[in-house]
Amino acid sequence: MILSDFAKALGQIGDPRFRRVLWWGVGLTLALLVAAYAGLLQLAAMADPGPVSLPFLGEITWIGDLLTWGSALFMLFLSVFLMIPVASAITSMFLDDVAQAVEDRHYPHLPPLGQQSLWDAFRDTINFLGVLIGANLLAFFAYAVLPFAAPLIFYGLNGFLLGREYFTVAAMRREGRAGAEAMRRANLPQIWMAGVLMALPLTVPLMNLFIPILGAATFTHLYHRLAGSAPAPSV
């Protein structure tokens, strides 16, 4: 069932509204990562003590270069873990556009909805981003204690968070927040599994740029399937 939801989402990847969200997501994600790296470089510059004289070694001038290259490697390592929360949270800001595109094509008989305000979308995105980043940073302690279980923890945690957020946002459009949370609790295993399937390809470069959009569309289909919405007949 989940795979059929994903197949429907994949079949709509050429929708202009999907492409619009993709470019917005890519642009904002790259801008945020560049800003984070610029901040890291600034911290490295502030930590640079300048030339240092040591006994037997003389004057050392390469500490600043070491900090700069070290910050670049650290950011590259960190971006692997941050790509999931950053790309997914930013795309969630435009999830309403993706969900509307899915409903226009597959569920045109449903009554129209009002557009979510930009401020509400931005507020929900910031909350989602904070939870995702905070949970992933805390998970580093679990990785250190249980390194052999790190992949299971990583995908299980992000699958739960992604499934929770994307399903709630997709369902909340027609059920309200309380109704969406009730549906999520009643169907938690299926939603969690869908979130894990979404998290797996998010760690693959380039592919991870498309997955948040496909995930948003997939969870829209998942919501309508659980709600019993009949899709429009194929033509």
Domain range list for the chain: 2-227
Nearest to 228 by CA among 107, 95, 60: 107
H or E stretch covering 48: none
Across the 235 residues of the chain, what is the mean pLDDT of every consecutive 10-residue run?
84 85 75 70 59 49 53 61 63 77 88 67 72 80 86 89 86 86 92 89 74 86 84 53
Would you state the pLDDT for residue 191?
93
Q: How far apart are CA 158 and CA 163, in angstroms?
A: 8
**Per-residue pLDDT at 92:** 66
pLDDT of residue 187: 93
Q: Residue 85 has what pLDDT?
A: 64
Query: What pLDDT is stored for residue 232 in this prediction?
Result: 57
pLDDT score for 42? 67
CA distances in angstroms from 168 to 57, 59, 171, 176, listed in the order given? 61, 59, 5, 9
Phi, psi of 231 (to 5 degrees): -70, 160
Going through the chain in order, the beta strands assigned E by DSSP cover: 52-54, 58-60
**pLDDT of res. 71:** 58
- pLDDT for 133 equals 76
- Between the CA of residue 104 and those of 2, 52, 101, 163, 232, what are the distances in Å? 20, 66, 5, 23, 10
- For residue 153, how many C-alpha atoms fall within 13 Å in the half-sphere facing its CB? 17
